[in-house]
Amino acid sequence: MFLKRSMNRIIGIVLLLIGTTFSALGQDKGIAYKIVGKDLYCSIDRSLPQSQIDSLLGTCDIDFNNLEAMLRSGESSADHWQVEAIEPHRIVLKKPLKSLTGKAGNQKDLIVLLNEEIESTVEDYRFGYNMFHKPAVIELDNGLTRFFLKVEGGKPHGIFISGTFNEWSTSANPMEPCDSGYYVDLKLGVGPHYYKYIVNGYWLLDPRNQLKESDWEGNENSVYFKCNYTFRLKGYTNANRVNLAGSFNDWNDNRFTLRRVPGGWQRKCYVKEGTHAYKYVVDGEWILDPDNPVKRDDGAGNQNSFMSVGDSIVFYYPRDLDARFVVLSGSFNGWNAEELRMQKTDSGWVLPYVLAAGNYEYRFRVADKIEWQMDPLNPISSGPYETKNSVVSVKANHHFFFPRTRGVDELILTGDFNGWNEHGYYMERRADGWHADLYLPKGKTRYKFIVDGKWIKDPSNPLFEPNEYDGYNSVIWVK
């Protein structure tokens, strides 16, 4: 009897501790943990929707309907959880700390779990421009970009440039001496490039570059934009200041100032591929680009100038020439059913459209037809049969191939690029096998083929790694 009363007191103290401490913890909503002695306690908030409570209990291998019975009997779940208390506002479970399930086999696998939510992110720039104290990076006529570093003092015994353009290699790009410093010529793609110099093993920001970005690891890197567009405004030579505002810089009218040139204003910059709206701001007054005939209404009665960067794809739909209209709709415009009306020609409906590199799904909406039409000329598609879409890859950089296999009528390619969708991409059947061209982003891509419902790795790719299903995924690295 004494023992029981003492136990009740101990439990009471423990629950009090849990109640007072849990609210302060920044953790998954509605669930809180605490170690008391050698036991792990778990408190589940009963004000949550029942489905969430069921789900949280499920992570402890406990059925809500068995709670009362487990409390009475003191029985444990398969994962060693016991029901400690059922209160109006919470359910408290406990298990011995020693009974954490499974044995860790590899500390690094565990540690990456800890950081999965704080992985560093590289900003996806839509727009950018350079800011240097003194010239340090110049574009050469041969298309290469020259980086120059002035080095004071003695002759360094090793000087390199390292950046996103060479996967931050510390040795791939040594710099050559010139009369006043060191230089290296690199072939860069359009867009932002993060970089640093390495002098005698020491990392160095570009001292002449004002533009720096945190790498989210506690350090900074210099940033250089390889430009792809020049904004020009003729005239307005008496103006004091001409700024540019557009959809690419969140219509900020106070950041990007054009430079005065004979007969007007201009400045180079980087603009991400795609179609963008913009206006000039001349001494505070917003004006359309007088030399750009492409103007559209923003839906609120305001006109904006529009510009496009990138290659134009011509979408073509050869059927329903007697229809009143045909609209192109896809993942690139949020499946907007009205926006992109196609132009009628003698042979079909066409629409040139600029898209950034990527893989996109689309269909054609034909007036008076309920069902949206797939592209009859495009063999690559995605999705379950009833909701299949055509797929177009812009700037495709990888060709997938699977050899012809007797008795196989369709072949599906799936991987990181489509969220491991078991319904696609459906590949194109040719005489020698199945083909598909896709755009793959920089970095690692894992993929598999689905052949007659069987998931198999690419037989022609020597790079593969184990997955959590006791099988293997094929691996491609795009540099």
Partner 1 sequence: MLCSISLWGGKPPEPSFSSGAYNQRLIMQRPVPKGDFQHMVIPFKRVGNLIIVEATVDGIRGNFIFDTGAPYLVLNATYFRNYKEEEGHIATDVTGKLNTQRTTEVERLKVMGMYYENLEADVSDLSTIENKRGIQVLGLLGVNLFMRMEIEINLQDEQLIVYRIDREGRRLEQPSYRMEGDYHKSFELRNNAIIASGTIAGQSLNFCFDTGAEALLLDNDLDEEVYTEMRIVRRSTLNGAGGSSTEVLFGALREMEFGPKLKSCQVMIADLEEIGRAYGFPVDGFVGYDLLRMGSVCINFKTKELIVNVFKKEHE
**x-or-dash pattern for partner 1, window 265-284, by CB under 8 A?**
--------------------
- Determine, following the binding rule CB under 8 A, whether residue 171 of this chain makes contact with partner 1: yes
Residue 310 in contact with residue 354, Cβ under 8 Å? Answer: yes
Q: Draw the binding track, 370-409, toward partner 1 (x: CB under 8 A; -: no contact).
A: ----------------------------------------
The one-letter amino acid code at 116 reads: E
Torsion-angle region of 344 (φ positive above 0: left; ψ -120 to 50: alpha; else: beta)? beta
Comparing CB distances to partner 1, the nearer of 103 and 324 is 103
Look-up: residue for tokens 């998954």? 28
Nearer to partner 1, 55 or 59 (CB): 59
- Tokens 């993060």 sit at which residue? 194
If the CB atoms of residues 97 and 367 are measured against partner 1, the closer one turns out to be: 97
Contact at 8 Å (CB) between 244 and 258?
yes
For residue 472, state whether it binds partner 1 (rule: CB under 8 A).
yes
The stretches of 408-451 forming alpha helices (DSSP H) are none
Sheet containing strand 428-430, strands side by side = 398-403, 433-438, 428-430
Q: Which is nearer to partner 1, 30 or 433 (CB)?
A: 30
d(CA 23, CA 26): 8
The one among 6, 202, 318, 387 contacting partner 1 by CB under 8 A:
202
Q: Closest CB to partner 1 among 337 and 478?
A: 478
Q: Which is nearer to partner 1, 110 or 178 (CB)?
A: 110
Region near partner 1 per CB under 8 A, out of 62-70, 406-414, 422-430, 468-476: 468-476
CA–CA gap between residue 223 and residue 200 (Å, rounded): 22
Q: How far is the CB of 149 from partner 1 (least distance, A)?
A: 15
**44 token code pair:** 């589940």
Residue 116 contacts partner 1 per CB under 8 A: yes
- Take residue 305 and report the two structure tokens written for it: 């100038």
Binding mask 131-160 for partner 1 (x = CB under 8 A): ---------------------------x--
Q: In the block, which residue shows the tokens 């030399």?
A: 291
Q: How far apart are CA 2 and CA 12, in angstroms?
A: 15
Position 174 contacts partner 1 (CB under 8 A):
no
- Name the residue type at position 292: N
Dig out the tokens for 402 from the structure. 């699977």
Asked if 167 is part of the footprint of partner 1 (rule: CB under 8 A), the reply reads: yes
Q: Which position among 6, 169, 237, 460 is part of the footprint of partner 1 (CB under 8 A)?
A: 169
* Distance of alpha carbon 145 from alpha carbon 206, whole angstroms: 15
- Please state the closest distance from residue 446 (CB atom) to partner 1, in A: 8
> Which of 404, 442 has the CB closer to partner 1?
442
Q: How far is the CB of 76 from partner 1 (least distance, A)?
A: 15
How far apart are the C-alpha atoms of 255 and 299, rounded to whole Å?
26
38 scored as a contact of partner 1 (CB under 8 A): yes
Cβ proximity of 273 and 355 under 8 Å: yes
Is residue 448 a contact residue for partner 1 (CB under 8 A)? no
Beta pairing class for 454-456 and 443-451? antiparallel
Near partner 1 in 18-37, by CB under 8 A: 21, 25-28, 31, 33-35, 37
Q: Is 341 helix (H, G, I), strand (E, B) or coil?
A: strand
Q: Which positions touch partner 1 (CB under 8 A)?
A: 21, 25-28, 31, 33-35, 37-38, 40, 42, 59, 79, 97-98, 100-116, 118-120, 158, 162, 167-172, 198, 200-203, 215, 217-219, 443-444, 446, 462-472, 475, 477
